[in-house]
Amino acid sequence: MPDEHGRTSLSRGRLWTRRSLLAAVAVTPALPALAAAVATPRQTEGPFYPVRLPLDIDNDLVQVTGAAARAQGTVTHIAGRVMTLDGQPLAGARVEIWQCDAKGIYLHPGSGDPARRDAGFQGFGATVSAADGGYRFRTIRPAPYIGRTPHIHFAVAAPGRPRLVTQMYVAGEPGNDRDMVLRGLTQAARAAVMVELSPAPQVEAGALAGRFDIVLA
């Protein structure tokens, strides 16, 4: 049975350790102090939030409990902090992500051919921010699909604050300038959701890592 955060007993056993979090966060430098003044912009949830959550909804989307193989695509570690406008950490925030698999198909009946979807990719994950606001996910490098540049959807629900839905983008992607959802943001807001993904052999062989701090207004 899932616990109060939606994690099953099996998924809780595979949560990434604090050491993994620190290694992933260390790949990219901390945001400058002034960056905390820019709230993470709200963006559309889109049509592909799962209709039914998978049984395995931990923060490791690459390895699904019971799947014969891990997800296709480049393993990518995303880590950061959930914080307030003045830089104070927010503990106990539920952070959810969902994204398409390496073939561009979401965990949703309206996204492509379900028979082609990568069964080794969880498609959706959730975790809860630590006392220092830290969170982390092990997923794949987001893939493009028709009309959209690579991105990862985020939803953050912190105690006493309205739920934030946003999207994280990959710096340097050629499709960024053509993406209508991303182009709707101001330059400052766009910078707040743009993440550089760098090789991270110290975290996992062959993996990428990036830092995405989430600032709640």
Q: Give a yes or no: residue 197 inside a domain.
A: yes
Of 15-24, 33-42, 73-82, 206-215, least confident by mean pLDDT is: 15-24
Q: Give a yes or no: residue 2 inside a domain.
A: no
Total count of domains within the chain: 1
Q: What is the pLDDT of residues 58-90, one digit of tens each?
A: 999 999 988 889 999 999 999 999 999 999 999
pTM summary value? 0.86
Alpha helices in the chain (DSSP H): 9-12, 18-26, 180-183, 187-192
CATH code of the domain in which 31 resides: 2.60.130.10
Q: What is the pLDDT of residues 161-201, one digit of tens each?
A: 999 999 999 999 999 999 999 999 999 999 999 999 999 99
Element (H, E) at 134: strand 134-140
Alpha carbon distance 13, 35 (integer Å): 35
Q: Which domain holds residue 129?
A: 9-216
